A and B are shown apart, each in its own frame.
Chain A
């Protein structure tokens, strides 16, 4: 943002903390942006003429004599079709190529969609990953995170979802991702020739953490442009929301706020909800679907970040390393898509709900058999068959490297049922069995 003519310059900074400065100024609006000694800052508190600003890049090197210029407006993003295929920093400035984007300026973090104007989500978003499409189908307008430990390949899965999902635009918000991961995303999209439908906002670990706070709002402002103005189906990917929450905690700490559970600010629920609730199915056919990543520490979902997230999102997806097949799978037990009932068997083949349940039930039987085996008990013939089924089910369906359409997933499941079990053991409604049971 450029300094404009006739802007008043303030030079008396009173307080400096690691993330904020306080300056004497008048006629300043709440949330307004400013330039503090060449760094971008935002007004977070007004106390008479004392204005406290949060400096995104940190206050290192700022002097009490540094110049402060107020811009008179909150953070904005220029939106337009020219966003597609571009990579931006957290302030919405393009990282490569021309710095100018054709478009209209919009305030980020805008208002809420009137709940009454929402439609019930009803469109299936296939990803080709059976652990998602078969067991936890995504629906347009849904919001769902991956709960993953830091050592799991969640960014690869996100990239895969981005490339395969049938969406008009993919908007990726990277918060605190490593430079290596950033380049990985960039290369994958480049190689797939998919860059033209992707918009990428990135804050890497090399950038100051507080800048991350802008990334979700930037990404969602772009998403709202394509969904609301253009009626497109937009998929927003946010990784990693735990690092976003960490940045919130830093700022709230600098503002002397009393921390609540796990040192997180008391407003964490509202802060996260403001982002996730942007997911919407609009009456014009456009939609915003949010798939996020929340990294866990040692699988602990009672930590404030995954816990608050779970109360906001419509389900969660867990990744797990399957030691039998050596592949990463989407855990069928702990994962849940709350909206799947709206599409499975309706937008997909009629046998979908029953096949899904039967396969998960048999997989649970296999897990019990495995426990028995580990405890030194003898296995029955049925137990042995469930174990073989579980191996194939993991390998041919749950593994994240599988890429087939949902009809093929259902056919594969039927093939495995017939290979290892009798019709009675599978216990699916008779009319479906007659129609889909593969004859030897």
Chain B
């Protein structure tokens, strides 16, 4: 007997229901509106009165309307066919909806149940298995999609039977498991999982020790993100958050990309699904859309589903991680999710925290970021979920609750600066405010020493010092005037400009410059650092400026040329010649 109830109160999308039986926190229910059913989630229970947040517009609901509780939390459907899909926050397949407008109460199947897949078994009869163990695999786009023991199964099971290699429908039983008492559990290629719960079907979660390259110099060289790491990008509007995230999504060295468009512009989602089918994945040569799933709750879609969208994205990410894959989740923007929490907290009349956000905002954000990470699976394989969220700070002020709460949990901080954006220095990642905690990890340092070159971290820190000293020199020049300071000040300043223009700045709209592989980054960074370590003597500040401007131009031309091409080498020679002449003076 399922619990039912009747509506007794409505405030916007917060509905109060009087119930006739047990309900659980975060349980899903459906509210009847004529012949439609609106999905809602329990967020507070007070005796028989249950507060639910409705994932749709509540226009027309009345006191007395009936509500049916489903006995489970908000779930996603997991199985082959998730890739290339465009879902809303509740995992409805948007491509399958016929109408131009999103009609209330329309829910559909996230997967194509009629589709068939080439299954090959990996487990054999008699194997002892636990949740997350691989029973078999099917090819999905460029990956081998593992069919796993459902995550909801607790304890150890025995494989009683498993089908032979062949073509099967999603819902066909591919294996039968038995528990210690001999009870049978049929397993298909599809399983469900509650989005608010982390999937923990792994042995352990070691510290990240590898870098995930993004092809962006300001990230990979200066403040790298680890595979299985977390990072966030705060920035005022117009600073280039979305362009940066799109660039990362195109270039990152990951098997699966999940784009969560959370409360942002619909036209930006359109851009992804128009462009990605045409663009090549730089790592596999297949189309980008093949490794991508889009989850979008654009800013005009129901607010409550915004929160669901980030959890849906994370759960799909954890699912692919359990297959031993490298997953990258990009969420734009987590501030909109925080605002959705604020709206509900306000309607629940909870006592507000700073800026009217709920008191537990920080805890909610930490819990969420903690779901990312590198994991060792039971079978010895590793998988990872790397998470990068953007934050849209109100008024561009980084001292606001969402930025501060996120700072406590994310390990990489890529602050986009208005000043850099105004002077068109893109990506506008501030070299001084930004940081990557991973550079302090001994594991990462060792990795960089062996994979890039010995002493790499030290060199990066040296570059950061040059930037810092350049800025100090620039302030002096501004106060005392060009000829009021020694020429060394100009030299110091222009060395920092050299790093800024050649390494930090990158043209994300140029096909060559946009994606800079690690090998090339190493070459350019070493080249620039060599120059920075030379002591030049200039006759005057004009000469110093002219010298560096020409040098910068040559190095930038190298950035725009194919790596190691004739053009590239010629510009390199030209720059070297320029330096030689300078030293001969």
In the complex, whether B296 has a CB less than 8 A from a CB of chain A is yes
CB distance A111 to B9 under 8 Å?
Answer: no
Distance in Å from the Cβ of B359 to the closest Cβ of chain A? 12
Q: A114-B94, A115-B94, A260-B355 are in contact. Are A29 and B339 (CB under 8 A)?
A: no
Q: Which chain B residues lie closer than 8 Å to A141 at the CB level?
A: 267
Nearest neighbor of A255 in chain B, beta-carbon distance:
B11
Nearest neighbor of B9 in chain A, beta-carbon distance:
A47
CB distance B339 to A115 under 8 Å?
Answer: no
CB distance A27 to B59 under 8 Å?
Answer: no
Map CB proximity to B onto A6-50 as digits: 1 under 8 Å, 0 otherwise: 000000000000000000001111111000000000001111110
In the complex, whether B365 has a CB less than 8 A from a CB of chain A is no
In the complex, whether B486 has a CB less than 8 A from a CB of chain A is no
CB distance B102 to A312 under 8 Å?
Answer: no
In the complex, whether B155 has a CB less than 8 A from a CB of chain A is no
CB distance A120 to B62 under 8 Å?
Answer: no
**Per a CB cutoff under 8 Å, which of A116, A228, A276 touches B94?**
A116
CB distance A115 to B298 under 8 Å?
Answer: yes
Distance in Å from the Cβ of B307 to the closest Cβ of chain A? 13
CB distance A260 to B342 under 8 Å?
Answer: yes
Q: A47-B9, A260-B355 are in contact. Are A113 and B61 (CB under 8 A)?
A: no
CB distance A307 to B395 under 8 Å?
Answer: yes
Query: Can you name 12 A-B residue pairings with CB atoms under 8 Å?
Result: A111-B102, A114-B94, A118-B267, A141-B267, A260-B342, A260-B355, A266-B343, A267-B346, A270-B303, A270-B339, A277-B266, A304-B394
Map CB proximity to B onto A187-224 as digits: 1 under 8 Å, 0 otherwise: 00000000000000000000000000000000000000
CB distance A46 to B346 under 8 Å?
Answer: no
Complex interface residues of chain A between 97 and 140 (CB less than 8 A to chain B):
107, 109-121
| Most chain B Cβ neighbours within 10 Å, of A49, A118, A274, A276 | A118
Complex interface residues of chain A between 277 and 295 (CB less than 8 A to chain B):
277-278, 280, 282
Q: Which chain B residues lie closer than 8 Å to A48 at the CB level?
A: 8-9, 63
Q: Which chain B residues lie closer than 8 Å to A120 at the CB level?
A: 267, 270-271, 274
In the complex, whether A310 has a CB less than 8 A from a CB of chain B is yes
Q: Which chain A residues lie closer than 8 Å to B340 at the CB level?
A: 270
| Most chain A Cβ neighbours within 10 Å, of B63, B94, B303, B342 | B63
CB distance B299 to A312 under 8 Å?
Answer: yes
Q: Which chain B residues lie closer than 8 Å to A266 at the CB level?
A: 339, 342-343, 346, 356
Q: Which chain A residues lie closer than 8 Å to B95 at the CB level?
A: 116
Q: Which chain A residues lie closer than 8 Å to B9 at the CB level?
A: 45-48
Distance in Å from the Cβ of B262 to the closest Cβ of chain A? 12
CB distance B271 to A29 under 8 Å?
Answer: no
In the complex, whether A273 has a CB less than 8 A from a CB of chain B is yes
In the complex, whether A362 has a CB less than 8 A from a CB of chain B is no
Complex interface residues of chain A between 286 and 341 (CB less than 8 A to chain B):
302-304, 307-308, 310-312, 314, 333, 336, 339
CB distance A30 to B394 under 8 Å?
Answer: no
Q: Which chain A residues lie closer than 8 Å to B339 at the CB level?
A: 266-267, 269-270
In the complex, whether A435 has a CB less than 8 A from a CB of chain B is no
CB distance B343 to A277 under 8 Å?
Answer: no
CB distance A46 to B395 under 8 Å?
Answer: no
A44 to B12, CA, bound (A): 7
A10 to B95, CA, bound (A): 47
CB distance B303 to A267 under 8 Å?
Answer: yes
> Interface size on A (CB < 8 Å)?
59
Q: A302-B397, A311-B392 are in contact. Are A116 and B300 (CB under 8 A)?
A: no
CB distance A115 to B270 under 8 Å?
Answer: yes
Q: A115-B298, A116-B273, A267-B303 are in contact. Are A29 and B61 (CB under 8 A)?
A: yes
Nearest neighbor of A32 in chain B, beta-carbon distance:
B60
A26 to B8, CA, bound (A): 11
A residues neighboring B (CB under 8 Å):
26-32, 44-49, 74, 107, 109-121, 141-142, 228, 257-261, 266-267, 269-270, 273-274, 276-278, 280, 282, 302-304, 307-308, 310-312, 314, 333, 336, 339
Q: Which chain A residues lie closer than 8 Å to B59 at the CB level?
A: 29-31, 74, 107, 109
Nearest neighbor of A275 in chain B, beta-carbon distance:
B300
CB distance A269 to B60 under 8 Å?
Answer: no
CB distance B60 to A258 under 8 Å?
Answer: no
CB distance B64 to A27 under 8 Å?
Answer: yes
Distance in Å from the Cβ of B269 to the closest Cβ of chain A? 5
Q: Which chain B residues lie closer than 8 Å to A115 at the CB level?
A: 86, 94, 266, 269-270, 296, 298
Distance in Å from the Cβ of A286 to the closest Cβ of chain B? 10
A124 to B11, CA, bound (A): 42
Q: What 4 additional pairs, Cβ within 8 angstroms, besides A74-B60, A270-B339?
A: A47-B16, A48-B8, A48-B9, A302-B394
Nearest neighbor of B350 in chain A, beta-carbon distance:
A258
Distance in Å from the Cβ of A334 to the closest Cβ of chain B? 9
CB distance A112 to B102 under 8 Å?
Answer: yes
Q: Which chain A residues lie closer than 8 Å to B266 at the CB level?
A: 113, 115, 118, 277, 280
CB distance B356 to A46 under 8 Å?
Answer: no
Distance in Å from the Cβ of B17 to the closest Cβ of chain A? 12
Complex interface residues of chain B between 67 and 100 (CB less than 8 A to chain A):
86, 94-95, 97, 99-100
Nearest neighbor of B64 in chain A, beta-carbon distance:
A27
CB distance B356 to A260 under 8 Å?
Answer: yes
A113 to B269, CA, bound (A): 13
Distance in Å from the Cβ of B105 to the closest Cβ of chain A? 11
CB distance B11 to A45 under 8 Å?
Answer: yes
Q: Which chain B residues lie closer than 8 Å to A119 at the CB level?
A: 270
Distance in Å from the Cβ of A275 to the closest Cβ of chain B? 8
A314 to B11, CA, bound (A): 31
A112 to B474, CA, bound (A): 51
A47 to B422, CA, bound (A): 50
Q: Which chain A residues lie closer than 8 Å to B10 at the CB level?
A: 30, 45-46
A28 to B64, CA, bound (A): 10
CB distance B63 to A114 under 8 Å?
Answer: no
**Per a CB cutoff under 8 Å, which of A112, A142, A333 touches B301?**
A112
**Per a CB cutoff under 8 Å, which of B62, B265, B300 touches A46?**
B62
